[in-house]
A and B are shown apart, each in its own frame.
Chain A
Amino acid sequence: MKGKTFKISAIKNGTVIDHVSTDHIFKVMDILKLNESNDVVTMGTNLESKKMGKKGLIKIGGRYLTKQEADMIAIIATGANISIIKDYGVENKFRVEIPDIIENIVKCVNTNCVTNAYNVPTRFHVINRKTLKIRCHYCERMTDMSEIEMV
């Protein structure tokens, strides 16, 4: 095997999520619920990257992430790129953007919030994209990125 390099194999159709920080790659898998998926999923971490030093990458065969789905990972993987692959070619490439509303990804920090008391799916309104300040749809508590905890 000496001298051989193993790369993550190309996909014919599907989605490639590139330039995810290695700290967040497993969280991205969680958010997209790829552990429950029947699609062929390949994942790499600590891959060399000119831009980031080390990076993570996920390829999902046979599934095209919508812009909305892709944006859900933007809260933790701000610089990630999404490529939609069709017949081995890149049909569409975009950067993830933080959506206006973040649904059921982040926990509310307020222990007295109804989402924590009654196991209700969370919803947050993004108030400031730069500082990533979000407001709980239910209890209206403002949360900073530094306080964010995933569901």
Chain B
Amino acid sequence: MSFEKHDIISIRDLSKNEILHILDTAKKIEDNPDSRLLENKMMASLFFEPSTRTRLSFESAMRRLGGEVIGFADPDATSLKKGETLWDTVKMAENYSDIIVIRNPVEGSARLAAEAVDVPVINAGDGANQHPTQTLLDLYTILKEKGTLENLNVGFLGDLNYGRTVHSLVVALSHFNTNMFFISPKALKIPDSYLDELKQKGIQYHEEEDLFKVSRELDVLYVTRIQKERFPDPLEYRKYVGVYIIDRKLLDHIKPELRILHPLPRVDEIHPELDDTEHAVYFDQAKNGIPVRQAILALILGRIK
């Protein structure tokens, strides 16, 4: 299997074996980091919209392996303000770098960027569409915590309609015979297209509005934010938001081995009183972004096979 010069645009582009190879490489790098692995390699970090965590995580991943970083975090400060197109911007960046990491709020922009240039492109988020490195670090976290990705009971809680991290993780976990529980208000249920896909693949799933009805079955609970701006009526928002806040009450309704993940940032959907329990792994999850992104960079840049 060779990842050299491959783009990482969508989790759909990766086979089960490719996903496992990335996670395996991340483990090796985490256990045995080599600060010179990416020496003489240059990453262009093109952030067309602000994203502190993803950008810093990529830049840190590159620098800690000896690589260098150029780019921008604020499109206002670039020629984009003068009307330069996405296409021209990535063509320019191609001349200065070995790999491009791109975040752009327009959906499909990363795929278009990858078609524009010969250097490999990593999608660091294109609007509501894809954020594959987030999905890979979610998987890495589950694998580290549970020791396997196979045959787990995974619950998804919150806004399952708009949450791109949920959609990508559902697609990725469908390789691993996961039993999925979608817990959300009806207004924010997971789109039918994803359920159709699961049916086709023979993956078991359940839809539920009440977390406590299914929480005892779960090995993993993936919590997402319910965003106020998704609701046209603020009263509707208030009606839902309280229902999907988890706190210590949850502890009476779960298996002792349950692990709680969250892509962060959270607002108030997980009470801080859960933070110091063994169930909370969301801060480790954010930290896992480093070895996972290092693995992806090292594989694509051909420094690890």
Residues 32-55 of B contacting A (Cβ, < 8 Å)? none
Q: Report whether A118 and B85 are in contact in the complex, using a CB–CB cutoff of 8 Å.
A: yes
For B, the interface residue count at a CB cutoff of 8 angstroms equals 18
Residues 120-152 of B contacting A (Cβ, < 8 Å)? 126-130
- Residue interface bits A124-139, CB-to-B below 8 A is 1, else 0: 0000000001001111
Q: Report whether A112 and B85 are in contact in the complex, using a CB–CB cutoff of 8 Å.
A: no
From the candidates B10, B86, B128, B129, name the one contacting A118 in the complex (CB within 8 A). B86
Residues 72-127 of A contacting B (Cβ, < 8 Å)? 108, 110, 112-115, 117-118, 120
**Bound-complex Cα distance A117 to B111 (A):** 14
- Residue interface bits B87-111, CB-to-A below 8 A is 1, else 0: 1000000000000000001111101
Residues of chain B within 8 A of A114, CB atoms compared: 86, 106-109, 111-112, 126
Q: Report whether A110 and B86 are in contact in the complex, using a CB–CB cutoff of 8 Å.
A: no
**Bound-complex Cα distance A142 to B171 (A):** 14
Total contacts A-B at CB 8 Å: 50
Chain B nearest CB from A136 CB (Å) reads 7
Q: Verify if B271 is at the interface (C-beta below 8 Å from A).
A: no
Q: Verify if A140 is at the interface (C-beta below 8 Å from B).
A: yes
Residues of chain B within 8 A of A140, CB atoms compared: 10, 12, 107-108, 129-130
From the candidates B112, B127, B129, B193, name the one contacting A120 in the complex (CB within 8 A). B112
Q: Report whether B193 and A136 are in contact in the complex, using a CB–CB cutoff of 8 Å.
A: no
Q: Report whether A112 and B107 are in contact in the complex, using a CB–CB cutoff of 8 Å.
A: yes
Among A108, A117, A120, A136: residue with most chain B CB under 10 A: A117
Residues of chain A within 8 A of B129, CB atoms compared: 139-141
**Bound-complex Cα distance A55 to B117 (A):** 47
**Bound-complex Cα distance A32 to B108 (A):** 27
Q: Report whether A138 and B127 are in contact in the complex, using a CB–CB cutoff of 8 Å.
A: no
Residues of chain B within 8 A of A142, CB atoms compared: 193
Q: Report whether A113 and B193 are in contact in the complex, using a CB–CB cutoff of 8 Å.
A: no
Residues of chain B within 8 A of A137, CB atoms compared: 108, 111
Q: A139-B129, A140-B12, A140-B130 are in contact. Are A113 and B85 (CB under 8 A)?
A: no
Q: Which 7 interchain pairs have the tightest Cβ spacing?
A: A138-B108, A139-B107, A114-B108, A139-B108, A142-B193, A114-B109, A117-B106
Binding site for B on A (CB under 8 A): 108, 110, 112-115, 117-118, 120, 133, 136-142
Binding site for A on B (CB under 8 A): 10, 12, 85-87, 105-109, 111-112, 126-130, 193
User: Can you report 13 residue pairs joining A to B where beta carbons are below 8 Å apart?
Assistant: A112-B107, A113-B107, A114-B107, A114-B108, A118-B85, A118-B86, A118-B112, A133-B193, A138-B107, A138-B112, A139-B108, A139-B127, A141-B107
